């Protein structure tokens, strides 16, 4: 079965020998040639008829939007990358993996894995001016990568807004004085006066913040495990609904609305971090916390876990392979300097992670000093840091209500920005596949509303009494091996199927006034894409599989059953299995032998690069592009001296075979 859309290929010369055609003139792309093709000195002349005009744009389909300015794109990407993981995961990994020594593998992995993949995704989106699915017109065989990205984005959006709902709950509770998780609250007098309530997993006394988190927020004490979700916790359901309503209105007008929101949501967390660092520096015991954060342990460099943690943190904090970066870059102007943006965003993101560690550990150091325990006993990661350890530390400060409100506002801004990027990946992919939705604001609003409401209904499972067990399961597998495999195939596909040289040339074409340093930097990126990055991704993937096989999945003292872990593996497998499924579909649409089908399926479609004409052309006249292979239909008489025909006067728009 032939493919639905032809590929860009040089002129095919097809020979037809039917008797009915022997006396007919030769044809080139549907035009009759009136000259004698057997005369090599003659030039091909087309019949005197008006050329076919370029097909007019569909008035019902709006052109793609563009960012209002370069700062909107930069802030959107920084807000997308600088998320909750920068605050609650990086500082913990740093102290657990050798303190300041962790920065060595971290920056090595950043420059050999993170930055090259980040540039690849930004460049692909900007050059193709398309979302994560449509952009694979550059290599139809790999369309499954875009579908896989969509699956990962769906899983991430499903559980990520639950974190924002928790933040809303804490933010509302922060307006109470005293804070409900502090020892000053009358309900916590029995917890602070004695140690009768004990944590079953650690054997130590529970703090008021742990009781508030487990009993009042999660209700996990009422659930026996994954098989026992229990009823929905309606205060959290209202918070989740409010979170999705905010996301809906912020994204209602696409990048025109979200691009303005990021001026606040992307900058406010930096203001809060600076304030927290200044406040933490004035507290007793803060230096012990910072020392605990940065004290080097050089022996840790020999551990494979340290290098895996560094690579994983770089990979996940940059948001690579989810489709958000690709979608946001697709709204850039064609001549935007993508290399400069890549370096600014990646270095800014990783610097923020390091910077946030001082805000976290200075205040945790003060809490350890107040309790008279080592800092390691109060340090935590993930939700345990954001909703247990750090709120407890803030409750010890004078003016704790103010600091708590400030902290949870920061978490809300960090979460919303990241969710913007993930949702943008989904909406852009759908709108590119169904462009008529862009023209009708009512239909677009209805689609976005149904999407948000669908996520809300599915998210209700995660805010039941046993919802934290489902949250941990999805969090553990949604961005695990499936995402690494998707990114690995993206790197290999662009480097070896599309062509790394062609891809580098595309980047140079976008940067019209390409400074000399850009060309030199591209040599480094080319080496990474072909050698270093695939090797490091294989290392991460191997370590993930080994750890997944040897380490049981658990939340606190609860160990997940085998069927629960198998369900998580199915989530990850569903994402990466899209690649072979859609590759088979692409090959089956072609004709010829299996080898011919494969070669045809890795050729770019003719409509590849068409989307960026509006970006680069401005008011200039656009060149007509022929949406068909170049063919020359010849009769027996025409083929007598075919090898002597001079076709040099014909300007082939697609001069080389993909």
Contacts of 325 (CB under 8 A, 6+ apart): 77, 80, 118, 121, 122, 125, 318, 319, 421
From 326, 522, 310, select the one nearest 422 (Cα to Cα).
326
Neighbours of 313 (CB within 10 A): 25
Neighbours of 455 (CB within 10 A): 22
DSSP sequence for 350-384: HHHHHHHHHHHHHHHHHHHHHHTS-GGGT---THH
Residue 509 tokens read as 């074409």
From 573, 119, 101, 117, select the one nearest 314 (Cα to Cα).
117
Binding site annotation covers 414? yes
Contacts of 299 (CB under 8 A, 6+ apart): 98
Binding site annotation covers 36? no
Q: Report how far residue 46's alpha carbon sits from residue 34's, in angstroms, rounded to the nearest whole number.
A: 7
Binding site annotation covers 335? no
Q: Looking up tokens 């928790």, which residue turns up? A: 166
Binding site annotation covers 79? yes
Neighbours of 224 (CB within 10 A): 12
- With beta carbons less than 8 A apart as the criterion, state whether 310 and 539 touch: no
Binding site annotation covers 349? yes
Binding site annotation covers 372? no
Looking at 493-607, list the stretches that DSSP marks H as alpha helix, in order from N- to C-terminal side. Answer: 500-510, 516-527, 533-550, 562-576, 578-588, 594-601
Binding site annotation covers 309? no
Neighbours of 70 (CB within 10 A): 14
Q: Report how far residue 340's alpha carbon sits from residue 337's, in angstroms, rounded to the nearest whole number.
A: 6
Q: Looking up tokens 């990358």, which residue turns up? A: 81
Q: For 569, left (φ over 0), alpha (ψ -120 to 50), or beta? A: alpha
Report the binding-site residues. Answer: 79, 82, 86, 317, 349, 414, 417
Report the binding-site residues for Na(+). Answer: 79, 82, 86, 317, 349, 414, 417
């Amino acid at each position: 079965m032939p493919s639905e859309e032809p590929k860009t290929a040089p002129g095919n010369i097809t020979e037809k020998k039917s008797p009915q055609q022997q006396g007919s003139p030769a044809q080139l792309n549907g035009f009759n040639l009136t000259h004698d093709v057997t005369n090599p000195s003659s030039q091909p002349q087309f019949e005197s008829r008006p050329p076919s005009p370029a097909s007019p744009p569909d008035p019902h389909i709006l052109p793609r939007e563009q960012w209002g300015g370069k700062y909107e794109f930069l802030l959107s990407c920084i807000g997308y990358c600088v998320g909750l993981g920068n605050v609650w995961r990086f500082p913990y990994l740093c102290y657990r993996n050798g303190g300041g020594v962790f920065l060595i593998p971290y920056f090595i992995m950043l420059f050999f894995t993170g930055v090259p993949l980040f540039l690849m995704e930004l460049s692909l989106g900007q050059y193709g001016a398309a979302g994560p699915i449509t952009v694979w017109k550059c290599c139809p065989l790999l369309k499954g990568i875009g579908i896989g990205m969509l699956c990962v984005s769906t899983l991430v959006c499903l559980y990520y807004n639950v974190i924002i709902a928790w933040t809303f709950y804490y933010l509302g509770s922060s307006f109470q004085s005293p804070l409900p998780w502090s020892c000053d609250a009358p309900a916590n007098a029995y917890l602070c006066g004695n140690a009768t309530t004990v944590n079953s997993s650690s054997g130590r006394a529970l703090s008021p913040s742990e009781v508030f988190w487990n009993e009042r927020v999660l209700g996990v004490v009422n659930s026996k495990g994954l098989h026992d979700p229990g009823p929905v916790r309606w205060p959290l359901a209202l918070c989740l609904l409010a979170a999705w309503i905010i996301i809906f209105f912020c994204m209602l007008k696409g990048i025109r609305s979200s691009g303005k929101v990021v001026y606040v949501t992307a900058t406010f967390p930096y203001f809060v971090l600076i304030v927290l660092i200044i406040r933490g520096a004035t507290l007793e015991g803060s230096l012990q916390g910072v020392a605990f954060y940065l004290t080097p342990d050089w022996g840790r460099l020999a551990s494979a876990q340290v290098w895996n943690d560094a690579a994983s943190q770089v990979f996940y904090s940059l948001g690579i392979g989810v489709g958000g970066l690709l979608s946001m870059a697709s709204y850039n102007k064609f001549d935007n300097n993508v290399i400069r943006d890549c370096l600014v965003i990646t270095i800014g993101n990783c610097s923020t992670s390091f910077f946030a560690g001082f805000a976290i550990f200075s205040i945790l150091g003060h809490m350890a000093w107040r309790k008279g325990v080592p800092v390691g006993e109060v340090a935590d990661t993930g939700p345990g840091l954001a909703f247990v350890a750090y709120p407890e530390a803030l409750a010890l400060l004078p003016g704790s209500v103010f600091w708590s409100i400030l902290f949870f506002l920061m978490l809300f801004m960090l979460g919303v920005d990241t969710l913007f990027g993930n949702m943008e990946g989904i909406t852009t992919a759908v709108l590119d596949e169904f462009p008529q939705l862009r023209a009708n604001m009512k239909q677009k609003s209805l689609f976005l509303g149904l999407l948000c409401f669908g996520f809300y209904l599915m998210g209700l499972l995660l805010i039941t009494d046993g919802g934290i067990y489902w949250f941990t399961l999805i969090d553990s597998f949604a961005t695990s091996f499936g995402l690494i495999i998707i990114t690995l195939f993206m790197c290999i596909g662009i480097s070896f199927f599309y062509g790394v040289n062609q891809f580098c040339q595309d980047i140079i074409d976008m940067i019209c006034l390409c400074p000399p340093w850009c060309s030199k930097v591209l040599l480094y990126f080319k080496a990474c894409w072909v050698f270093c990055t695939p090797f490091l991704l294989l290392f991460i993937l191997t370590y993930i599989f080994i750890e997944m096989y040897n380490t049981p999945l658990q939340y606190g003292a609860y160990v997940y059953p085998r069927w629960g872990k198998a369900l998580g593996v199915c989530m990850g497998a569903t994402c990466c299995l899209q690649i072979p499924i859609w590759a088979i579909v692409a090959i089956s649409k072609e004709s010829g032998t299996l080898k011919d089908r494969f070669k045809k399926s890795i050729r770019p479609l003719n409509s590849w690069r068409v989307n960026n004409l509006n970006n680069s052309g401005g008011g200039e006249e656009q060149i007509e592009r022929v949406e068909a292979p170049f063919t020359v239909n010849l009769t027996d008489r025409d083929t007598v001296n075919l090898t002597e025909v001079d076709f040099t006067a014909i300007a082939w728009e697609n001069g080389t075979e993909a």
